[in-house]
Amino acid sequence: MNGSNTQSPEQACQVFVGWLDRRVVAAGRGDGLDRLEVAPSGTFWLGRLACEDEVQKAAGDERSERLDPCAIGIRLRPASAPPWSMAVTVRARGWVKDTKDGPDPEKRWWRTGLVEEKVPVSIGVQGGSFGSSQLATAFAAVGAPGLTAELRVEHQQNELMVQLVNTSPEQGLADSHLYETEIEISGLTTVPFQLESLPDSFRYDRNVPAYGVNVGVDEVAPGVFRSTDTVSVQTNRPTYWEDSYAKPDLRFSTLANEPLPELVKLVDALAEYNDAHWSPAALDGRHDAEGWTDAMRAEADAAAQAVFAELDRLRTGLTLLESTASLMRAFQLMNEAIGDSTRGKYPDWRPFQVGFLLSSVRFLAEPAEEANYVDTVWFATGGGKTETYLGLLLTAAFYDRLTGKTMGVTAWSRFPLRLLSLQQTQRFADALASAEIVRQDHKVGGAPFSLGFLVGQAGTPNKIVPTAESKDDEVTPESSGMPDKYQVLLRCPFCRDENLRMRFNRQRWTLEHCCTNESCRYASRSLPVYVVDQEVYRFLPTVVVGTLDKAASIGLQQAMRGLVGPPRRFCSEKWHGFTYADRAKAPNGCLVPNCQGSSRELPMDANRFAPTLRLQDELHLLRDSLGAVDAHYESLLDHLQHETTGSRAKIVASSATLTGYERQVDVLYQREGRVFPQPGPRAGESFWTVPTAQPLRRFVAVAPRGVTLEHVSDRTLDALQSSIRELIDDPARICLEAGVDPGHAEMLVSQYGTNVVYGSTLYDVEAAGRSLGSNNTVEGINVEQLTGQTEFDEVRAILERLEKPEDEFAERLHVVAASSMLSHGVDVERLNTMVMLGLPLTTAEFIQTTARVGRARPGLVYVLHKIGRERDAQTFRQFGPYVRQGDRFVDPIPITRRSRRVLDLTIAGAVAARTLMIREPASKQRLSTPAKLRDYLRTLGLTPHEEAAAVAAVFGLDGPEDSLHQQQIIDWLKIWFADLEDPTLKTNFIGDIGPSQPMRSLRDVEATAPIHD
């Protein structure tokens, strides 16, 4: 390239990704190699064909043929009746082994010249074989006598299958494989297939020009089809505004000052777009032009109805902002806070984000009505979902403060992974810190905005005790690793300085993050972040982020009451916080050890303590047994909040898919589901997003032949890493070869020098990490693992290395071996290449995971199919539509709340939670032992049938179709009541009575509870 300004960084990345892919494919095929020390059959995984005799002597089934096939082919649909004529060009090579006294004794294997033969084919319905002698002669001519092949053409149900078959003899040759095979078909007029696995839809094109057999296929020119060793699919980066409409000013500063004029422009533009694309006249035009079926038109009419309902919600939100001063002020303060939080990284909202905020603010003004709906944000990962619901969350927090809720939890945000993303947590902390600055600057009353981190013993302490007693997992101020191992934040959310210090404050009995930057407004003060469970209960932070499974504590921990309703009282001792039920070690209900204070009345209306919002991230992961258990606990949380405060929280979720979301929301929350934004009139195109020509990700499907998946993964990563090292060592040569401006070399090393290898199972991840250390030609590859087993301090260190790499490339992190932890909330712009070890178990996981690369620069994703599996093989055959129409391949979420096995696990938690959260406060006494509880229930005259009816109603199992579940609850409670009345009972803990005990984690179900309706 000439000159440093001829190529933009984006263009350089696009060209470089293409070059990297060519290098990887060449490594898989053997392109450019003339000699080898070892047998090529154990080296190459692309373009090779085993001989037919060898395949037939093996298992002989379809699976074995896919693992090491003897044929490649193309399936076509002729446009006319037989007979048919076409030309088929065959390309292939062989590898031959010299004798020991050959020209290169160290590398005895040599690559033959290229066979390239055009074979004329004319057939009728019977099909036939062609080119055998022509190809045998050609192989002999390039130095590989004995290698043979033929074309076989079969006619089946209006389609032709043209295959190149390796007919070489298994015996008598050093290597009977063919290599670098390719076929190209021309001269046959065809019509497309209809995508087999998907129904008609007005949004999608189901036409498929041709299918490959053990290969991909490209239409390289009209009517010319060529096989490919991999299937490459390019997706493009979207833009977030349709240029046909005047764009409103959605800068944070504008919406913080004069939002209404710009919001009106946004809503008016949406109305104009909807009329142009969704009106009956617009749909009539498409119906006629595109030949819609009646079913397609009915689908379009239903979609139009949802789109106009969405517009109505935006108009309602706009009206409420105009008419409700406190809501308008909350919205403006939120925009000021988000603007501060971004630190200039971006100055404005994407239109869909403002659209969601407008459509959602009604829940603050009309909470009872809006609590009946679950609003789900559905947008491409990386499009700004997190910032969107952070905007909603801050609006709610300011609105709470402005309307009398001066303290307590505004939002409880729950994530479905075992280990919460530290980057996700940091984004919440940054937003809340900026909101706190704005709150102070505008003199908004109430407690400081704060963040709670509620994950429990897996990541941070449940509590800190003065001295450890019998439990090995008890944490004391002197425990190993205290306090540094519990650092959750990556940087100070106020000044963004990374020099944080952890300390344990004995006077306040708090584990604190402290900023050491002397110019920070929180210099040497504890940041408003609480990472110990008991501190979360004591201080009830504005926002609590945590893992999904922590909800099980509602049946174990009476102090969880602060997350569904009011605490009991407030401690008189400064910094001790809220108090809960009296216990032997906490006679005044204070959770600080040995507190001598007294309890005071709550400083705020008790009903206002209930959370305003429950946020559920990654809704699509709430499935199977985990989803079934969570459905019961979601209902339990609703019940407890309603009983203690008379309200229900608004639920907002994000999801990677819309497939079956209405039923999933109904099962999980017993509410109606709504989604924003509604999908547009065509795939990938709507008012809110428009595709561009800018590359986003290149997906490359690989079906390894004859070698293990681990071998292919190692060699792929080897090719990627060696390419980067060559770029470092000889930038001029490599930039010339790749076609990039040398001025971009350093940037390309940074953007593509760290690779991700992703496994769906922990076994795959660990195996990949081990293998990389021993099976690569490149030396000094630095590998780290990111899984749910990785400790917090290790995760923090890995993220820091990824975001701020070492100066010397040799010292950097080169490969991250990751599990599903990566696919949720890990956002590192330098991660732009990925190798997937097999197709993930679900399409939703595929969508989420691959979105972690290519977030800012063009990405490259290799999907190594476990081709022996039928699902992987089927996906390889239709990989293009799978990537482009991914959401249509997502299976409906399997979930039920009517599993009797799950009910066995959840009854105990519901009964215990009702005792802790409702009965004990109502009794105004301590009900911590079976004897005290028995005496109190006697005064109420409560029977097993009455309590069973209440529990059944909580779980939504009180209908006539639920008689078996109701009887199951009655039977359980009969034993529970009998235990209470048993004079020989040997336990002093109410959680120990009954036929089962409350779950300690919602994930306890995963190993024990299959799902059956």
Contact 709, 72 (CB under 8 A): no
Q: Are strands 500-505 and 859-864 parallel, antiparallel or unpaired?
A: unpaired
Q: Which two tokens stand for residue 366?
A: 């009309």
Q: Is residue 106 part of a domain?
A: yes
Beta-strand ranges (E) seen in 133-215 are 149-156, 159-166, 179-186, 190-191, 193-194, 207-208, 211-213
Query: At residue 115, what are phi and psi to the nearest 5 degrees?
Result: -85, 125
Q: Is residue 323 part of a domain?
A: no
d(CA 837, CA 822): 14
Are 934 and 842 contained in the same domain? no
Are 850 and 907 contained in the same domain? no
Q: Is residue 798 part of a domain?
A: yes
The secondary structure element, H or E, covering residue 624 is helix 624-645
Are 145 and 87 contained in the same domain? yes
Residue 360 pLDDT exceeds 90: yes
Cis peptide before 83 (omega within 30 of 0): yes
With bands split at pLDDT 50, 70 and 90, how would you rate the model's confidence at 1009?
A: very low
Are 854 and 920 contained in the same domain? no
Q: Once rounded to an integer, what is the mean pLDDT over residues 231-255?
A: 94
Contact 173, 147 (CB under 8 A): yes
The per-residue pLDDT for 2 is: 43
Are 813 and 729 contained in the same domain? yes
d(CA 139, CA 93): 8
Query: At residue 899, what are phi and psi to the nearest 5 degrees?
Result: -80, 120
Residue 4 pLDDT exceeds 60: no
Question: What is the amino acid identity at position 95?
Answer: W
Distances (CA, A) of 55 to 144, 342, 549, 703, 845: 21, 59, 49, 17, 34
The per-residue pLDDT for 422 is: 81
Q: Is residue 885 part of a domain?
A: no
Its domain, for residue 991, covers 900-1007
With bands split at pLDDT 50, 70 and 90, how would you rate the model's confidence at 1007?
A: very low
Q: Name the DSSP class of 464.
A: B
Residue 1005 pLDDT exceeds 80: no
Closest CA to 108 of 97, 122, 117, 121: 97
With bands split at pLDDT 50, 70 and 90, how would you rate the model's confidence at 892?
A: confident
Q: Name the DSSP class of 195.
A: P
pLDDT tens digits for 111-149?
A: 999 999 999 999 998 999 999 999 999 999 999 999 999
How many domains does the chain fold into?
Answer: 3
Q: Once rounded to an integer, what is the mean pLDDT over residues 958-983?
A: 96
Count Cβ atoms within 10 A of the Cβ of residue 331 and give its class: 0-12 exposed, 13-18 middle, 19 or more buried. Answer: buried
Closest CA to 596 of 621, 615, 579, 619: 579
Are 857 and 928 contained in the same domain? no
Q: Once rounded to an integer, what is the mean pLDDT over residues 901-914?
A: 97
The secondary structure element, H or E, covering residue 400 is helix 385-402
The per-residue pLDDT for 788 is: 79
Q: Once rounded to an integer, what is the mean pLDDT over residues 48-72?
A: 85
Q: What's the whole-number average pLDDT of the chain? A: 93
Are 860 and 922 contained in the same domain? no
Q: Is residue 84 part of a domain?
A: yes
Residue 1 pLDDT exceeds 70: no
pLDDT tens digits for 687-720?
A: 999 989 999 999 999 999 999 999 999 999 999 9
Q: Is residue 766 part of a domain?
A: yes
Residue 656 pLDDT exceeds 80: no
Looking at residue 798, which CATH number applies to its domain? 3.40.50.300
Beta-strand ranges (E) seen in 204-274 are 207-208, 211-213, 216-221, 224-228, 230-239
Q: Is residue 33 part of a domain?
A: no
Residue 972 pLDDT exceeds 60: yes
Residue 775 pLDDT exceeds 70: no
The per-residue pLDDT for 1002 is: 86
Residue 5 pLDDT exceeds 80: no
pLDDT above 90: percentage of residues in the chain: 80
The per-residue pLDDT for 766 is: 86
Residue 194 pLDDT exceeds 60: yes
Closest CA to 367 of 598, 597, 614, 574: 614
Are 89 and 219 contained in the same domain? yes
Q: Which two tokens stand for residue 657?
A: 């898919």
With bands split at pLDDT 50, 70 and 90, how would you rate the model's confidence at 684?
A: confident
Q: Residues 444, 447, 453, CA angle at the centre, nearest 5°?
A: 125
The per-residue pLDDT for 507 is: 96
Are 780 and 843 contained in the same domain? yes
Are 702 and 797 contained in the same domain? yes
d(CA 970, CA 949): 8
With bands split at pLDDT 50, 70 and 90, how would you rate the model's confidence at 886?
A: confident
Last residue of a domain, one of 227, 245, 276: 227
Last residue of a domain, one of 227, 245, 269: 227
Are 210 and 73 contained in the same domain? yes
Q: Which two tokens stand for residue 728?
A: 């470092």
Residue 518 pLDDT exceeds 90: yes
Q: Once rounded to an integer, what is the mean pLDDT over residues 620-635?
A: 93
Are 833 and 693 contained in the same domain? yes
Contact 771, 820 (CB under 8 A): no
The per-residue pLDDT for 457 is: 66
> Which of 42-46, 349-353, 762-766, 903-907 has the least mean pLDDT?
762-766
d(CA 423, CA 796): 9
Q: Which two tokens stand for residue 225?
A: 């089809």
The per-residue pLDDT for 748 is: 98
What SS3 state is found at 239? strand
* Threshold 0.85, pTM exceeds: yes
Closest CA to 914 of 633, 505, 509: 633
> Which of 75-79, 182-186, 399-403, 484-488 has the least mean pLDDT?
484-488
The secondary structure element, H or E, covering residue 501 is strand 500-505
Closest CA to 314 of 284, 270, 379, 274: 270
Residue 603 pLDDT exceeds 50: yes
CA end-to-end span of the chain: 65
Question: What is the amino acid identity at position 430?
Answer: D
Last residue of a domain, one of 187, 207, 227: 227
Number of C-alpha atoms within 13 angstroms, CB side, residue 980?
Answer: 23
d(CA 450, CA 452): 7
Q: Once rounded to an integer, what is the mean pLDDT over residues 240-257?
A: 95
Residue 40 pLDDT exceeds 70: yes
d(CA 849, CA 836): 9
Enumerate the β-bridge partners of residue 526. Answer: 514
Residue 852 pLDDT exceeds 50: yes
With bands split at pLDDT 50, 70 and 90, how would you rate the model's confidence at 995?
A: very high
The per-residue pLDDT for 469 is: 76
Q: Is residue 734 part of a domain?
A: yes
The per-residue pLDDT for 1011 is: 32
